[in-house]
Amino acid sequence: MPKVKTNSSAKKRFKVTGSGEITYQKSFKRHILTKKSKKRKRNLGQKGVVGDANRNFVLRLLRLKG
């Protein structure tokens, strides 16, 4: 049997922490930053955590769940 490959785009976008949470980098922080408030830009710089609704889907893309 051939090996099952991990989804290439998912392995670049998501990281599993030691506690088992799946983190990702938030969007909308690349350009057009002048109209965004300091608070908004500061919060976009923090890591996002994948919610329960999408958790199983992301784990399947990363091949961490059957």
| Domain ranges, ordered by start, for the chain | 8-61
How many residues belong to the chain?
Answer: 66
Per CATH, the architecture of 8-61 is what?
Irregular (4.10)
* pLDDT tens-place values along the chain, 66 residues long: 898 999 999 999 999 999 999 999 999 999 999 999 999 999 999 999 999 999 999 999 999 987
Q: In this structure, are residues 50 and 56 in contact, taking their beta carbons and an 8 Å threshold? A: no
CA 62 – CA 5 distance, rounded (Å): 9
